[in-house]
């Protein structure tokens, strides 16, 4: 059984290239595959390998004070879903190109709602203040095609950078709602929530941990379909089981 992890962490990185080299060496030594992105604003990673190797990598990363609070989302597959290891240095760990959405420049993290609280709001039909609830999907149309929250506001975008323009026609209709932005693992909805709040939408929260965190803690309540992931598994159901497993492909 292969352990798959997804994690990101916003923290100032003075020398992204040096950190990328260290993480590459550590991941290669543990026979891990996947993608590691390093930027001046932090790290973003999707990795898979043997359980002990994954644990060792995460423990070593958290031993660095900058990443002590790293939150990891875990799932499993019967075989390795990544073809190789890729470690890259980028300007951003997810490209959005909006200064207002830079977590390290913001006074505080955008307010978040925990998965169990969101599930409770969905069950009661409103937030704890009685405001109507709108879930905003910040992912692209291909990802949305595999599944999303019931009645979520989805946007016809192919890239995350297109979100501000695509959201513009809906803003007036969202003024009386509590808007919860969500994405796969939390990184895009965190940036989107920061930008929206800086742009005057003070009624916006982010789903803490994204869809994968919601699946881990709640399951599929209020969600239709699967969650697209960026590897050969294609998408995960609410029990975090893959739509396609490399082992099935090998056996075919």
Q: Looking at the annotation, which residues are catalytic?
A: 183
The pair of three-digit structure tokens given for residue 3, joined into one six-digit string:
């352990």
The pair of three-digit structure tokens given for residue 61, joined into one six-digit string:
């990363």
Contact call for residues 148 and 214 (beta carbons, < 8 A):
no
C-alpha angle 195/196/202, rounded to 5°?
A: 125
Please count the other Cβ atoms lying within 10 Å of the Cβ belonging to residue 113: 21
C-alpha angle 3/214/84, rounded to 5°?
A: 30
Contact call for residues 72 and 7 (beta carbons, < 8 A):
yes
C-alpha angle 157/160/163, rounded to 5°?
A: 60
């Amino acid at each position: 059984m292969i352990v798959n992890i997804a994690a990101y962490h916003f923290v100032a990185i003075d020398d992204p290239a040096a950190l990328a080299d260290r993480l590459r060496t550590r991941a290669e030594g543990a026979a891990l595959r996947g993608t590691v992105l390093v930027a001046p604003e932090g790290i973003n990673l999707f990795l898979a390998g043997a359980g002990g190797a994954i644990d060792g990598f995460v423990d070593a990363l958290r031993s660095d004070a900058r990443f002590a609070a790293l939150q990891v989302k875990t799932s499993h597959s019967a075989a390795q879903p990544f073809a190789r290891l890729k470690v890259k240095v980028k300007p951003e760990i997810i490209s959005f190109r909006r200064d207002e959405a830079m977590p390290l420049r913001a006074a505080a993290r955008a307010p978040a709602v925990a998965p169990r609280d969101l599930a409770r709001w969905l069950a009661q039909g409103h937030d704890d203040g009685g405001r109507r609830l709108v879930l905003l999907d910040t992912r692209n149309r291909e990802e949305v095609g595999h599944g999303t929250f019931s009645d979520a506001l989805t946007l016809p975008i192919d890239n995350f950078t297109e979100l501000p323009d695509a959201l513009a026609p809906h803003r007036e209709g969202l003024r009386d709602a509590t808007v919860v932005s969500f994405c796969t693992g939390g990184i895009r909805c965190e940036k989107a929530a920061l930008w929206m709040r800086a742009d005057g939408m003070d009624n916006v929260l982010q789903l803490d941990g994204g869809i994968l965190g919601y699946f881990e803690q709640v399951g599929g309540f209020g969600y239709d379909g699967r969650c697209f992931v960026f590897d050969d598994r294609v998408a995960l159901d609410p029990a975090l089981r893959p739509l396609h497993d490399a082992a099935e492909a090998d056996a075919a």
